[in-house]
Homo-oligomer: A and B are copies of this chain.
């Protein structure tokens, strides 16, 4: 692909693989430049991952936090959205392989994201699901609710205690948010409706292998989060690496814990795109990209989002967040646009830290934006407004806001369905 195509007749073909934050942003950055864009994803929907834990804990319905990718791209005549999994890339022929044949590109944006890593114990995946997709979230929701239901139906005291023990592996934002939301479900929403088991007495354990939870946050906030979780009855165990996961128990830090549900919020592994591209990857499968987010040796192939390993000027890797994915996708889209228009290349990608947030419960969150640090109710309010704002349409904003307001005053959880 030469930079002069824009002056010729044929519009350049851009293929974007992945309709997450990075892929969507890349498409948005290409608006109106005259490219022929093909956006591929194996799912039909874009999912607002930061709120998935609320689907998993029955606070929100799945459609509140996920929308068809073609709906997000509505009004874009230049973007064709296909629910079609990429099965490989030929970077020499410049085609993407799919079930319906090979599709040629001039520019490629790979934004296939990450899945969970079980550190070589892939058999744990079936027992301890992670939280990356809508399907994961509804599976976890069913697992959690089923444990409470089975505890209520059980006639054996020991069995009941096991069923009411929940283990969450991994003390990052997802693990912390799951633990907090699960505690509110167990101690707030459920107790008035159970007669035999007492969901309020559920044990919720948050296991973290490292020395503290939320290690990406300043130590003060991480300590605050721990205290807040503990005040909600969550047992936080640091230095507790998981040694083995069985169907109904976890061995961690030398302790054998019988559990009703085990959730995984620990390791992350990039999608297998590095293999497709023949690009060198780090241990987590991430592709070390050039400062322009392209694959070394393939200047027409951009890699963005959780799949990209990008070092900042300070040598620190850009964190895998919704915000960084959006920035990378946008950068790649703008870079392609400049090349189409024959403008000089963009400066290398630079991640702008807009802050990080994690919520612990309905009255508590931690927020770090530059030097500003918020905790408690103020943090929670900030977190809520920010998240409602980022949803893709008015109806979702309205439904999420109403659900939260109702939950705030009544502990009601509106989406407590066990499905198959």
Q: Tell me, yes or no, whether A83 is within 8 Å of chain B by CB.
A: yes
Contact residues of A between 351 and 396, Cβ < 8 Å to B? 395-396
Whether B420 lies near A135 (C-beta < 8 A) is yes
Q: Using A399-B402, A402-B398 as known contacts, say yes or no to A417 and B66 having CB atoms under 8 A apart.
A: yes
Kindly identify which residue among B68, B84, B402 contacts A416, using a CB–CB cutoff of 8 Å: B68
Size range of the interface on A?
35 or more
A84 and B149 CA atoms in complex are apart in Å by 9
Q: Measured between alpha carbons, how far is A155 from B101 in the docked complex, in Å?
A: 9
Q: Is the CB of A63 within 8 A of B395?
A: no
| Candidates B154, B155, B193, B418; contact of A45 at CB < 8 Å | B418
Tell whether, in the assembled complex, residue A402 and residue B395 are in contact, meaning their CB atoms are under 8 Å apart: yes
User: Given B74, B81, B150, which contacts A192 in the complex, CB threshold below 8 Å?
Assistant: B74
Give the residues in chain B near A74, CB-CB below 8 Å. Answer: 192-193
Contact A419 B63 (CB under 8 A): no
Q: Which residues of chain B come closer than 8 Å to A412, judged between CB atoms? A: 395
A417-B71 contact given A153-B82, A195-B80, A395-B412, CB 8 Å threshold: no
Q: How far is the CB of A247 from chain B (nearest CB, A)?
A: 18
A interface: dominant SS: mixed
Q: Are B149 and A416 interface neighbours, CB within 8 A?
A: no
Residues of chain B within 8 A (CB-CB) of A150 are 83
Judging by beta carbons under 8 Å apart, are B395 and A44 in contact? no
The CA-CA distance from A195 to B149 in the complex, in Å, is 46
A80 nearest in chain B by CB position: B195
In whole angstroms, what is the CA distance A324 to B272 when docked?
Answer: 56
B153 with A417: CB separation less than 8 A: no
Q: Is the CB of A134 within 8 A of B63?
A: no
Residues of B within 8 A of A146 (CB): 44, 83
0/1 per residue, A187-200, Cβ < 8 Å to B?
A: 00000111110000
* A71 & B416 in contact (Cβ 8 Å cutoff): yes
With CB as the reference atom, state the residue of chain B lying closest to A73: B193
Contact with B along A74-116 (1 / 0, CB 8 A): 1101001111100000000000000011000000000000000
Tell me whether A44 and B100 are in contact (CB under 8 A): no
Using an 8 Å CB-CB cutoff, how does the interface string of A293-317 with B read, 1 for contact, 0 for none? 0000000000000000000000000
A57 vs chain B, min Cβ distance (A):
13
Q: Considering the complex, which residues of chain A in the window 124-155 have a beta carbon less than 8 Å from any beta carbon of chain B?
A: 134-135, 138, 145-146, 149-150, 152-155
Report the minimum CB–CB distance from A101 to chain B (whole Å).
Answer: 7
**Min C-beta distance of A27 to chain B, whole Å:** 14
CB distance from A133 to the nearest CB of B (A): 9
A414 at the interface (CB under 8 A from B): yes
Contact status A414-B395, CB under 8 Å: yes
Judge whether A415 is part of the interface by a CB distance below 8 angstroms: yes
Cross-chain contact A44 with B418 (CB below 8 angstroms): yes
For A398, the chain B residues whose CB sits under 8 A away are 402
The 5 closest A-B pairs by CB, nearest first: A63-B415, A83-B149, A61-B61, A70-B193, A61-B63
Give me 16 other A-B pairs in contact (C-beta within 8 A), A61-B64, A68-B145, A82-B149 excluded. Answer: A44-B145, A44-B146, A44-B416, A45-B417, A45-B418, A62-B62, A62-B417, A63-B415, A71-B193, A77-B195, A83-B150, A83-B153, A84-B153, A135-B419, A135-B420, A395-B406
14 residue pairs bridging A and B, Cβ less than 8 Å apart: A44-B416, A61-B64, A63-B417, A66-B417, A75-B192, A81-B193, A83-B152, A100-B154, A101-B155, A134-B417, A135-B419, A135-B420, A395-B402, A395-B412
List the interface of chain A (C-beta within 8 A of B): 43-45, 61-64, 66-68, 70-71, 73-75, 77, 80-84, 100-101, 134-135, 138, 145-146, 149-150, 152-155, 192-196, 395-396, 398-399, 402-403, 406, 412, 414-420
